[in-house]
């Protein structure tokens, strides 16, 4: 890999310049700003690598998927990334303009530099370095780059299930990854799923004088009672039958969990709390965090909450409720159980609107793609044993893109805990960026051999 590393070394400045240009193009999924231009720029990057590229329409008037194929061989690697980004506001908290990526003290600041454009670019540049120094790719790469990840990939699942031929692969490299606080490389093998719903109570035709609180129904109370039936004060989820679907961690999962350096004190301090909920601590807290589902009230709205009193009896109340789903718990199952639960507990009048749904998915650590990434991490970060998460507590479309087609997946990348993704002053450490690029080279070599 010496010539590969030397190529990166001599091209560092040019690579940074190219990355800055790539991240200068806005592509905000929530508003559509710059999405068309970004899809074209991404298509061009792939074509410049020598890939055959298509823009796939996944739904009418929605951001296309950039789908690129390059290399030959019996084996196929699927790479998943996204070219869209989160909105930039609050704009006044940015120290430099979000779409004018700026270098300060070894970090590049800008919207999308970590999530997810830096991860597209280090992979592009690693492949370019490989082609210039190592010859042909040892396998075929199909690269799937979507443009609506930041709005929850709403059209992705039906498209992916209908186009398994585009996604079938021997392994999948997922969008992101990075190092932890201590600089250890972190790999993860899956993600939780999500069901996100809005619950609405309409108790009367309109708001009334609160004198009617004697004889007329209050929507805010009804919603409150319904929400209270979902979860107990000891944090147990009470939805009938839900916990029976939860698959407990396997012995392999537990072995991986035990090896994770869980920085409990620092994390507690970071959140400004003294202890976790549900009476857990240490290993049990980490296990609960990764292998238990959640039932979270994300927001409630009803009645009057402005300055001073307004004696009103609210006719309408709404709550957004999110469930993070662990293996075996599908969004369809939870949605069905939630409806049955509300009906059975006297809340048949509460309307449920589905806002977002994603399946959980995870990979066995002995998969070739995982082992290739672990070996690559050991080569690039010789001082640290890689930290392997059997799944992450967050969510991404791992199921429709990879797991549903039987494709094992792994994440590694260039991010770090201070990257401020989704927030003002998003940034990436350039040293991490180039280490991820070196790791990509070793990963290509290792996966080619396995």
Q: Which residues bind Zn ion (CB under 5 A)?
A: 115
Question: How far apart are CB 239 and Zn ion at their closest, in Å?
Answer: 29
Between 88 and 137, whose beta carbon lies closer to Zn ion? 88
Between 115 and 170, whose beta carbon lies closer to Zn ion? 115
Beta strand pairing call for 312-313 and 208-209: antiparallel
Largest distance between two CA atoms of the chain: 81
Between 115 and 146, whose beta carbon lies closer to Zn ion? 115
Q: What are the Cα distances from residue 406, in Å, to 167, 363, 398?
A: 10, 9, 11
Question: How far apart are CB 208 and Zn ion at their closest, in Å?
Answer: 43
Between 115 and 157, whose beta carbon lies closer to Zn ion? 115
Helices (H) and strands (E) in the chain, counts: 13, 20
DSSP assigned state of 231: B
Between 99 and 130, whose beta carbon lies closer to Zn ion? 99
Residue of minimal CB distance from Zn ion?
115
CB 192 within 8 A of CB 391: yes
Question: How far apart are CB 12 and Zn ion at their closest, in Å?
Answer: 26
Question: How far apart are CB 421 and Zn ion at their closest, in Å?
Answer: 6
Between 115 and 148, whose beta carbon lies closer to Zn ion? 115
Which is nearest to 339 in space by CA: 233, 242, 248, 264?
242
State both tokens at 151.
């709005």
Question: How far apart are CB 115 and Zn ion at their closest, in Å?
Answer: 4
Question: How far apart are CB 413 and Zn ion at their closest, in Å?
Answer: 12
Which CB contacts under 8 angstroms, 24+ apart, belong to 70-73?
70/46, 70/127, 70/137, 70/140, 70/141, 70/143, 71/136, 71/137, 71/138, 71/139, 71/140, 71/141, 72/136, 72/137, 72/139, 72/140, 73/137, 73/138, 73/139, 73/140, 73/448
């Amino acid at each position: 890999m010496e010539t590969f590393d030397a190529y990166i070394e001599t091209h560092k400045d040019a690579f940074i310049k190219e990355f800055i240009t790539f991240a200068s193009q806005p592509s905000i999924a929530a508003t559509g700003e710059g999405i068309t231009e970004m899809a074209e720029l991404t298509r061009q990057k792939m074509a410049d690598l020598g890939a055959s590229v298509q823009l796939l329409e996944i739904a009418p008037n929605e951001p296309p998927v950039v789908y690129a194929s390059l290399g030959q061989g019996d084996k196929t690697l699927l790479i998943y990334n996204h070219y869209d980004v989160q909105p930039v506001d609050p704009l006044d908290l940015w120290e430099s303009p979000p779409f004018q990526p700026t270098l300060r003290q070894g970090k590049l600041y800008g919207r999308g530099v970590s999530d997810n454009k830096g991860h597209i670019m280090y992979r592009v540049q690693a492949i370019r370095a490989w082609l210039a120094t190592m010859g042909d790719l040892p396998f075929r790469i199909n690269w799937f780059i979507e443009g609506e990840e930041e709005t929850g990939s709403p059209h992705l699942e039906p498209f992916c299930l209908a186009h398994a031929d585009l996604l079938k692969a021997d392994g999948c490299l997922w969008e992101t990854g990075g190092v932890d606080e201590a600089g250890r490389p972190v790999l993860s093998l899956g993600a939780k799923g999500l069901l996100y719903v809005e619950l609405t109570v309409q108790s009367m035709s309109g708001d009334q004088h609160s004198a009617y609180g004697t004889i007329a129904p209050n929507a805010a109370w009804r919603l409150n009672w319904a929400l209270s039936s979902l979860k107990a004060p000891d944090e147990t989820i009470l939805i009938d039958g839900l916990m029976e679907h939860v698959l407990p961690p396997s012995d392999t999962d537990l072995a991986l969990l035990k090896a994770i350096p869980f920085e409990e004190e620092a994390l507690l301090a970071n959140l400004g709390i003294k202890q976790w909920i549900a009476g857990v601590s240490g290993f049990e807290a980490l296990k609960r965090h990764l292998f238990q589902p959640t039932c979270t009230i994300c927001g409630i709205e009803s009645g009057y909450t402005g300055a001073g009193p307004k004696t009103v009896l609210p006719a309408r109340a709404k709550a957004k409720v999110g469930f993070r789903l662990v293996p075996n718990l599908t969004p369809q199952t939870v949605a069905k159980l939630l409806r049955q639960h509300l009906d059975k507990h006297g809340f048949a009048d509460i309307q449920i609107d589905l806002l977002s749904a994603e399946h959980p998915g995870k990979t066995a650590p002995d998969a070739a793609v995982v082992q290739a990434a672990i070996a690559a991490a050991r080569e690039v970060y010789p001082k640290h044993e890689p930290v392997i998460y059997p799944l992450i507590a967050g969510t991404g479309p791992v199921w429709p893109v990879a797991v549903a087609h039987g494709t094992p997946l792994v994440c590694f990348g260039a991010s770090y805990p201070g990257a401020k993704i989704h927030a003002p002053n998003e940034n990436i450490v350039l040293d991490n960026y180039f280490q991820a690029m070196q790791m990509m080279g070793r990963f290509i070599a290792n996966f080619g051999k396995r």
